[in-house]
A and B are shown apart, each in its own frame.
Chain A
């Protein structure tokens, strides 16, 4: 009974703390909390009009290429991209990881990392972003980020983007990330 009470108290404190960052819309689930999320402002191309983007890029014969054809190649040529950043905190004694991200602002949402070697930037898709027990991982420019590929709409400063993160432990975290200038 007493343990339950302590748990309850801790839970309330966490909720209270999370509430402090309400303007940043940090969200918490289980042991994982997210703070200071933001998304880089970006403009999509020609209102998703494939022929527009392709028309500028290629000769006429490419204009008839249907979007489905592009997707089958796994390559959304001419599409706009952006990235989301945040601090993911693990308050539990068990290591966890972000294994998936979703958002309806982009056709494809992936976890990426940037490695810098001899001032050469290399971006790579990663399967998971590890969050150590009682630790945190910072998703920031030049490092881990949630990559938004094929934007469905312009991301303008002041707007909010809803991102759903899935943890290895099976939790879903909803993050409301404000859009900031690039």
Chain B
């Protein structure tokens, strides 16, 4: 009888704790959260993109390129599944794919590449200076490597993090490549549950 009581108390305590917002993020938390640097770029449909237009939404950003047949589709496939698992909450999330290969990531190619995952994903490209600044601001490594003898001509070594920007435009989290989809979903749900006050 006593054991049952103990179990009951532990259960209530656990529920209370989880209710207190004591959620522990699975991704790397950026403390304190700073305003996410603007991404003054254009999307694959030729529309101007500004992060500041996405206040009220959680923005998930990944830096990659369309001639990346392996890692980038894996990350985008994960993000696709994140959106599916979020269900209705996916409306409050915007995924952006920032080009690290502006020369080859033509709007046409970006459209086709991203449509294969989720038609709402935006592929961002822009002038060299704006992109270079974005890489620097977000700490993204982008190194062009020539591949002599390859039909590709060159490839781009690049960081594989996914970044989360909250509803107030603060850069809150990053996930390393290969983070389980469920962990990302759980973190995004936590951001949506507790919108920042601003």
Contact = CB atoms under 8 A, between A and B. Distances in A.
Interface of A: 40-46, 52-53, 56-57, 73-83, 107-108, 110, 112, 114, 116, 119-125, 141-142, 145, 147-150, 181-182
B154 A75 contact: yes
Contacts of A182: 73, 76-77, 116-117
Nearest 6 A/B pairs, CB to CB? A108-B151, A75-B153, A43-B112, A83-B69, A57-B106, A149-B151
Interface of B: 66-71, 73-74, 76-77, 103-104, 106-109, 112-113, 115-117, 141, 143, 145, 147-155, 157-161, 176-178
Contacts of A75: 151-154
Contact of B106 (A53, A107, A119, A121): A53
Given A75-B153, A120-B159, A46 B69 contact: no
B177 A74 contact: no
Contacts of B159: 119-121
Given A56-B107, A107-B151, A122-B145, A45 B112 contact: yes
Contacts of B70: 83, 112, 114, 123, 141-142, 145, 147
A147 B116 CA distance: 18
A45 B178 contact: no
A81 B152 CA distance: 9
Contact of A110 (B104, B115, B150, B157): B150
A116 B159 CA distance: 9
A41 to B, nearest CB: 6
Contacts of B107: 56
* Most chain A beta carbons < 10 A, residue from B70, B108, B149: B70
Nearest to B44: A56
A116 B108 contact: no
B106 A116 contact: no
Contacts of A44: 112
Contact of A42 (B74, B116, B151): B116
14 contacts: A45-B112, A56-B108, A74-B151, A76-B151, A78-B104, A80-B109, A81-B152, A107-B151, A119-B176, A120-B158, A122-B145, A123-B71, A141-B73, A182-B117
Contacts of B73: 40, 83, 141, 182
Contact of A121 (B112, B117, B147, B177): B177
Contacts of A122: 145, 155, 157
A46 B110 CA distance: 12
A120 B151 contact: no
A108 B67 CA distance: 13
A120 B74 CA distance: 14
A73 B176 CA distance: 35
B106 A123 contact: no
Given A81-B67, A125-B150, A142-B70, A120 B160 contact: yes
A77 B153 contact: yes
Contacts of A77: 103-104, 153
* Most chain B beta carbons < 10 A, residue from A52, A80, A148: A80
A141 B150 contact: no
A42 B176 CA distance: 25
A125 B159 CA distance: 19
A108 B69 CA distance: 14
